[in-house]
Amino acid sequence: MSEFNNYMIGNLPVVDDPEKVLNQITTRDYNRYIDNFRGFEERLLESRNSTKLIDQAREDSVTQTRIAKESNARNIDRYGGAGLSAAQRQQQARTFQRGSSLATADNINNARIAQREVNQATMADLINIGQGVNRNSLGMMQEAAGMQQNRYQAYKNARSNYSSQMKGMGAQIGSALLGAFLI
Amino acid sequence: MASKPKKSEYQASEAEKINASVANAENKYFAEKYDPILVEMVSDAMSQNVDNLLAGRAGADTQQALSKPSLAAARSVDSAADMASAAGAQILRARVGGEKAQKNLALSGLAGARGQQQDATTGLATLARLENTATLESAKRKLANRQANIDFGKELAGTVYQTGKTNMAAGGGFFGQGLDRSTGLKQGTQVDKENPGRGTIGDRLMGGLFG
């Protein structure tokens, strides 16, 4: 016997009321969507204005400047000062400071460009998803409005039919009475 | 005349029942096995720091390439600044890649979830349509019943009127007061060729039913 025997036709649970089950499934699915994904969706919508890359680039630049400085200091120590004069060391420090400042600025500017690119791509995808949401909701609303209109027309037709029937009956009784008393 | 409709004649066919069972089982399987994957994907997309992982890797690679002990580098006036610049650029590139990957994952997750939600709302719309059709059909049935009741009343009223008229013509009251119930003639009048009467109640009933 297969371990998937329960999934075979004949062993599946009987569905007595498909309409009720469809109602349960769709209601559960919608509620599950709200429960599992709505918060995530809200966060993703907010993320179109993210500045994460720029903030991170600032932090990273500071860290990398520190690491490069420490690494260079260790390298110089390793070679016993590397034969550098005080003036050379001072110039090296200045160059490092200028170079790292420029690198930080460059990094942050590049991060801004990249962030803009990522945010715009996110926004484009969100707009696509949003269009689908809008289309779906409008479709549902149109259906709801159409159904209401059908019901209203059916009610008006029923009233009109009823009124015609009553008039017909009145006319029949009236002519019978006229026939009885006038002829 | 056709027999009264039986509920059993309107039951679902075997194929319809199987169809519903399979659909229900498949949906249950989807909810148990596939849906959690989407939840997991979305949860990963929001919680995992892919960019941190990639940035760490890029930083390490840069250090491995540029921080080898070197006298030339120690004496160089700008090697430290170059190293800081290179590491910063590499890390930024890694973070951008990570951010893009994470956003793509998140957006795919959202698109999947939204697709699923749309399927759910389409299902709800189908249900609403079914119920609306049922409401309209019920209204139509009520209308037909009302029409039948009115026709029945009209028929009855017509018969009462005709009978009353005949009763009055025979010299009795509208409801047959003063008439013999079996002949329809005035009480005491003999049935003969000139006054055949209306026949017995049985004759009249059979005549009414079968013309």
Percent of chain A with pLDDT over 70: 97
The SS3 of residue A164 is helix
pLDDT of residue B200: 64
pTM for this model (two decimals):
0.72
- Give the mean model confidence (pLDDT) for residues A33-61: 93
C-alpha to C-alpha distance for A54 and A119, rounded to whole angstroms: 12
Q: Which residue has the higher pLDDT, B45 or A100?
A: A100
Whether B80 and A122 lie within 8 Å, measured CB to CB: no
Going from the C-alpha of B77 to that of each of A73, A76, B73, the distances in angstroms are: 12, 12, 8
B18 and A9 in contact by Cβ < 8 A? yes
pLDDT class of A54 with cuts at 50, 70, 90: very high
Distance from CA of A104 to the nearest CA of B (A): 7
Nearest to A100 among B84, B120, B147 (CB): B84
Domains of chain B by residue range? 18-64+80-134, 180-211
For residue B117, list chain A residues with Cβ-Cβ distance below 8 A: 29-30, 33, 37
Question: What pLDDT is stored for residue A182 in this prediction?
Answer: 59
Give pLDDT < 50 ranges for chain B: none
Q: Which helix (H) or strand (E) holds A93?
A: helix A86-182
Record the tokens describing residue A13, joined without a space.
């649970």
3-state SS record for chain B: CCCCCCHHHHCCCHHHHHHHHHHHHHHHHHHHHHHHHHHHHHHHHHHCCHHHHHHHHHHHHHHHHHCCCCHHHHHCCCHHHHHHHHHHHHHHHHHHHHHHHHHHHHHHHHHHHHHHHHHHHHHHHHHHHHHHHHHHHHHHHHHHHHHHHHHHHHHHHHHHHHHHHHHHHCCCCCCCCCECCCCCCECCCCCCCCCCCCCCHHHHHHHHHHC
Q: Can you tell me the distance from the alpha carbon of B131 to that of B129, in angstroms, rounded to the nearest whole number?
A: 5
pLDDT of residue A73: 92
* For range A44-67, the mean pLDDT: 94
Chain A contacts of B114, Cβ < 8 Å? 37, 41, 129, 132-133
Q: What is the mean pLDDT of residues A152-173?
A: 84
pLDDT band (50, 70, 90) for residue A48: very high
Phi and psi at residue A16, to the nearest 5°? -80, -35
Instruction: Assess B75–A contact: CB distance below 8 Å, yes or no.
Output: yes
**Any CB–CB contact under 8 A between A55 and chain B?**
no
The conformational region for residue A172 under phi > 0 = left, psi -120 to 50 = alpha, else beta, is alpha
CA distance A1 to chain B (A): 19
Question: Contact A23/B128, CB-based, under 8 Å?
Answer: no
Q: Are B38 and B113 in contact (CB under 8 A)?
A: yes
Contact between A33 and B117 using a beta-carbon 8 Å cutoff? yes
CB–CB contact B142 A30 (8 Å): no
Write the CA distances from B178 to B153, B174, B182, B192, integer angstroms.
27, 10, 12, 19
Q: Would you state the structure tokens that stand for residue B64, as one six-digit string?
A: 């491995």
At A62, the pLDDT band (50, 70, 90 cuts) reads: very high
pLDDT digits 0-9 by tens, B26-41:
999 998 999 899 889 8
The predicted structure's pLDDT at residue B199? 67
Tell me the residue type at B168.
M
pLDDT of residue A180: 63
- Average the pLDDT over A66-88 and give the result: 91
For chain A, give the mean pLDDT.
Answer: 89
